[in-house]
Every structure is written in C-alpha cells, then in structure tokens.
C-alpha cells in the first residue's frame, strides 16, 4: 500500500508552503482505517500537515495547516493555511486557494468526532465518525462547500476543485518536515547489481541449478520466513513463486488484518515452469508474530529442528508438543531449517512493538545455540522512499533505505551485510526485472548461508562420530 503522493506533487506543495521540506506519512485511510479517532490519535499535535484526498474522478485535492491538529472542539487559527487542487480528472492541474485574511481564525476545526476539517467545518470537512470501505472506495460522509468565504477561491468553485465528489480511494495526512527529504546519492552505499535482463537470467539460472552438497544427503535447503504480522512473509514467497512461474501469482494468502493472515505452517516448494521441475529449496512460511500472542519457546525449537509437519495449523492458545498429531520424530538434517530470514517491514521499523522485538530476540537465542545463519529481508522499500517506488534501481543509492538497513542491523545485532533490501510484488500485474533481481539476490544469499550451515553440521557430525568411536 504505497504512499500515493507523487514526487512532482510533493515538490508543488513544498513550493506553496514556501520552504525546503519533505513529507512523512502519518495517516492513510486505506492502511489505518477511516476513523476520526484514529486520525486524531495519529495526527494531533504533530506539527504542520497536508491532507490529501484522492477521489474517484481521479482528482487530487486537500488542505495544508501550518498549525497542529487537535481535538479541543474549537477552531484552529492559521494565517498560513491553504486548500489546494493538484490534479483534476486525471490531469495535473495545480491550484492554491489561500485562507481569507479576515477569516484565518477558522482555518481548521479540531473536533474529536471529525476527520480533517478546513474552514469552520464548512469548506472541506472530510468525514465524521467511522467509514467502512465499500469495494475499492470510501464513501466519505463529510461535506465540501467552497462558498463560505473562509478561503479565497479566485473564481474556482466546489465542482472545479473537487468534482463535488467525496467518494475517495484514499485520504492521506502527511507531516511536513523541515529540510530536504531522503536523498539519492551518486555513490551507492552498497554495490549495486547491473540492473539488466542478463543479471536477472544469471540469478535465475543459479537458483535453478542450486543443490545442497551431495555429502549432506539433503535434497532441499529450507529457509524459514519469520517476523511481525503483515511484514511481507507470504508476499516474499509469492514473489519468488511468481518469478519462477513467469507471471504474477499469489498462491499464499496475503493482506492486512488484525491477526496473522497466515495461520498454517507451509513448507512451500517452488516449481520452475520452464522445465516443470521443482527447485531444490523450500520457503517455510509461518504465522506472524503478534503483540498479544507470544510464540511458544518450545514450539520455536520444534520448528527449527524439523519436528513440525507441513500444513500444521498454528494455535496460539495450544502450542505444538511431541504429542501433537503429525509430530515428526527424529528429524534428520533434511527436515531442519538451514537459514532463518527475519522479514521486517522497513516502513514500521521505528514503531515495532517492544513485545515483538523481544520475541525476535528470544528466537535469536535459539538460533545462536544452533549456529543457524540469520538474515533480514527488509521489505516495502517502496514505502520509505518515493525514488525507490518510482524506480527500484535507486535502492542502493537511497539514503532512506540505507538508514533503515543500519537501524535494523542495530536492532537485530546482525552485520549490515545480512540485511537484504527487497520489494515484494503486491500491486503489480507484470514481472519487473529490477524487482526480480533484488528478490533473487536475497534468496541466493539465504541459500549460500544455508550451505554454510549444512557444511558445518557435516563437520559436527563427523567430529561427534569420531569422538564416539574413540569413547567406544
């Protein structure tokens, strides 16, 4: 669910606001739900904001307040406020409508049961209470009436700014932050691949050719995907599956819900459709970590050691035990997890709940005991950097991505090189070379680590065997 405000529109708003600034998303109804309470929780007392509405005529309009939103029940005075139109019926068509000098005391309203509201309630009041989504849109119950005189319309009217249409696909509120936004630097912060079809084909072939070493007797490398709900675990599997399918597929359910969308353990195999053969690795998709349900420590051990069968239905109330039907007794190296990929949403790194962070740390203790390699798949890059959203080739030049990598590496106590930026397929209808390259590079690294682990296990088994022999 990327931010919708295009770079050119951000630049236009910054020009109108009159200073170098960038925009940080605070609230988005398609992500957070359309609720006056949530709007106030996320936007009150934050500082200057722009509110942007996207209606079903493909018109983009909204308002700027240099003062805080609040829930005091009164008007918000702001001599710098303005309403605006950025796009009209699908075409860029910017207009600024400044607040009237004599009515700036009514620039906005801070009313707890109202969403964003400009001009003493009457010019542009987006909605009140809660609005459910109907199909792909929200039928907002607010009002637009650009006649009250609080703002200066310069001959424009309600229709020419808003189509008098409050059926919207989205509404976003951005914090206006002083200073230039995340930059794209000329010097990449990590070596960037050649973004061409040759790289893509090479990676593709190397994954098709992947085989664990014969001495291990293991036929498939197992990568465990684990992380907070909604981080993009199932979408990562879907992305990999799409690449080898040659078209976008969504075999694993994905989405945004209060609780984990994935409820069953799945050890997904991937078929290369050009040869009809299964690849020699599996992506093991788990239930998402949630604040309310801590993952059972023993269950985690069973998961890592290969005791839990494919399609096991997770039940946070009743953890897996050796008595659970399907329990795999005496699993061998083939059944075990060989590399763990923490899937982390780059756009919510800073607000990861403490309880989820703790669950990941507890899990790391188990991984370290087993010497299991760990990586982070850092997802949703498109959400933290508009330049990356526009073109994935900017990933390794984006300071926003670089900052997120540094923060996650710190949180997880892992080397930065183990944090692998990816963008999953989510709204695309066609495969894209750049997206494929990032996903396959990350996967290749997981498999290299998995090989190291298996190699180490072989050594260990050899030493253990030798010791046993000496003892006998």
Where along the sequence are the contacts to ligand GTP (CB under 6 A)?
Answer: 1-2, 229-235, 254-256, 260-262, 288, 343, 379-380, 382-383, 423-424, 426
Which of 204, 216, 234, 359 is in the footprint of Mg ion by CB under 5 A?
234
- Contact between 241 and Mg ion (CB under 5 A)? no
Q: Which stretch binds Mg ion (CB under 5 A): 261-269, 327-335, 397-405, 455-463?
A: 261-269
- Please identify, using beta-carbon distances, which residue of 75 and 286 lies nearer to ligand GTP: 286
- When CB distances to ligand GTP are compared, the closest residue is 288
The one of ligand GTP, Mg ion, none whose footprint includes residue 454, by CB under 5 to 8 A per kind, is none
Question: Where are the extended beta strands (E) located within 117-250?
Answer: 117-118, 124-125, 130-131, 133-134, 137-139, 143-144, 167-178, 221-226
The one of Mg ion, ligand GTP, none whose footprint includes residue 380, by CB under 5 to 8 A per kind, is ligand GTP
Task: Please say whether the beta carbons of 111 and 125 come within 8 A.
Answer: no
The one of ligand GTP, Mg ion, none whose footprint includes residue 418, by CB under 5 to 8 A per kind, is none
At its nearest, how many Å lie between ligand GTP and the CB of residue 43? 22
- Please identify, using beta-carbon distances, which residue of 256 and 313 lies nearer to ligand GTP: 256
- Contact between 235 and Mg ion (CB under 5 A)? no
Question: Where are the extended beta strands (E) located within 29-182?
Answer: 34-35, 49-55, 60-65, 75-76, 82-88, 91-98, 108-109, 117-118, 124-125, 130-131, 133-134, 137-139, 143-144, 167-178
Q: Which stretch binds Mg ion (CB under 5 A): 3-11, 170-178, 228-236, 400-408?
A: 228-236
- Please identify, using beta-carbon distances, which residue of 262 and 280 lies nearer to Mg ion: 262
β-strands 137-139, 133-134 pairing: antiparallel
- Please identify, using beta-carbon distances, which residue of 3 and 78 lies nearer to ligand GTP: 3
Which of 109, 204, 262, 374 is in the footprint of Mg ion by CB under 5 A?
262
Judged by DSSP in three states, 165 sits in coil
Closest C-alpha among 120, 158, 122 to residue 142: 122
Q: Which stretch binds Mg ion (CB under 5 A): 243-251, 259-267, 353-361, 444-452?
A: 259-267
Judged by DSSP in three states, 26 sits in strand
- Contact between 379 and Mg ion (CB under 5 A)? no
DSSP class per residue in 331-394: --TTTS--EEEEEEEGGGGGG--HHHHHHHHHHHHHHHHTT--EEEEEE-HHHH-HHHHH-GGG
Q: Token pair of 177, please?
A: 């932050």
Judged by DSSP in three states, 318 sits in coil
- Contact between 30 and Mg ion (CB under 5 A)? no
Binding site for Mg ion (CB under 5 A): 233-234, 261-262
């Amino acid at each position: 669910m990327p931010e919708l405000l295009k770079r050119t529109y951000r630049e236009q708003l910054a020009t109108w606001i009159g200073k170098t600034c960038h925009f940080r998303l605070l609230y988005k109804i398609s992500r957070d739900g359309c609720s006056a309470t949530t709007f106030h929780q996320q936007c009150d007392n934050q500082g200057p904001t722009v509110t942007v509405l996207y209606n079903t005529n493909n018109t983009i309009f909204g308002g700027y307040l240099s003062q805080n939103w609040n829930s005091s029940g009164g008007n918000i005075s702001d001599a710098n406020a303005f309403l605006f139109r950025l796009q009209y019926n699908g075409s860029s068509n910017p207009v600024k409508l400044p607040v009237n000098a004599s009515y700036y005391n009514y620039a906005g309203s801070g009313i707890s049961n109202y969403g964003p509201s400009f001009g003493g309630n009457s010019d542009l009041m987006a909605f009140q209470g809660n609005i459910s989504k109907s199909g792909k849109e929200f039928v907002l119950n607010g009002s637009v009436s650009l006649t009250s005189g609080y703002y200066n319309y310069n001959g424009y009217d309600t229709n020419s700014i808003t189509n008098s249409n409050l059926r919207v696909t989205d509404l976003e509120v951005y914090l206006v932050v002083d200073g230039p936004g995340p930059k794209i630097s000329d010097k990449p912060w990590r070596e960037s691949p050649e973004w061409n079809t040759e790289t893509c084909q090479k990676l593709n072939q190397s994954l098709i050719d992947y085989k664990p070493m014969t001495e291990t007797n293991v036929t498939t490398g197992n990568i465990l995907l684990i992380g907070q709900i909604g981080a993009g675990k199932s979408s990562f599997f879907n992305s990999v599956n799409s690449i080898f399918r040659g078209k976008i597929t969504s075999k694993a359910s994905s989405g945004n819900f209060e609780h984990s969308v994935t409820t069953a353990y799945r050890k997904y195999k991937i078929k290369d459709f050009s040869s009809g053969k299964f690849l020699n690795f599996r992506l093991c998709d788990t239930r998402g970590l949630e604040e309310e349900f801590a993952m059972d420590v023993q269950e985690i051990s069973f998961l890592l050691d290969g005791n839990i069968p494919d399609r096991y239905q997770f039940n946070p109330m009743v953890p897996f035990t050796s008595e659970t039907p399907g329990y795999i007794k005496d699993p061998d190296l083939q059944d075990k997890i060989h590399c763990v990929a923490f899937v982390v949403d780059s756009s919510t790194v800073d607000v990861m709940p403490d309880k989820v962070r703790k669950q990941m740390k507890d899990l790391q203790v188990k991984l370290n005991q087993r010497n299991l390699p760990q990586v982070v798949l850092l997802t949703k890059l498109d959400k933290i950097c508009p330049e990356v959203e526009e073109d994935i080739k900017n990933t390794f030049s984006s300071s926003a991505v670089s900052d997120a990598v540094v923060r996650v590496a710190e949180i997880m106590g892992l080397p930065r090189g183990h944090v692998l930026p990816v963008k999953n397929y989510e709204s695309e209808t066609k495969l894209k070379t750049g997206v494929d390259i990032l996903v396959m590079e990350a996967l290749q690294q997981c498999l290299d680590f998995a090989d190291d682990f298996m190699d180490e296990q072989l050594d260990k088994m050899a030493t253990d065997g030798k010791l046993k022999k000496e003892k006998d």
